[in-house]
Amino acid sequence: MSDSSTIHVPLEPKVRKQFTAKAKQLGFDSAQAYLRVMIKAAVDGRRIDLEIDGWGEPSDAAAERLNRAAEDAKKSTNLSGPFTSVDDFMKDL
């Protein structure tokens, strides 16, 4: 960002600490990164929903695919393992 500006926002230390923790919980490396994404979205007229509640529930179709893949993995007979060394594993490949 060679052509950028800095915005200073005074915050109480407790609020800053909580905001930084929230940003990291959402996957951002810093509070500043979180703010950059939200500011850019606001300027572009987009709304970004980063709430954690409700994440992780696949659709019925996705759940079916995941379950099918898990069953296929359990049935896999490509390898004769279990193996006690990397060399034995590599020979079996």
How far are the Cα atoms of 45, 58, 74 from residue 68, in angstroms, in the given order?
A: 40, 14, 10
Which amino acid, one-letter code, is at 34? Y
* pLDDT for residue 85: 86
Highest mean pLDDT among 33-37, 51-55, 78-82, 86-90: 33-37
The Cα 38–Cα 26 span in angstroms is 12
Confidence class of residue 19 from pLDDT cuts 50, 70 and 90?
very high
Query: pLDDT tens for residues 24-41?
Result: 988 899 999 999 999 999
pTM of the model: 0.51
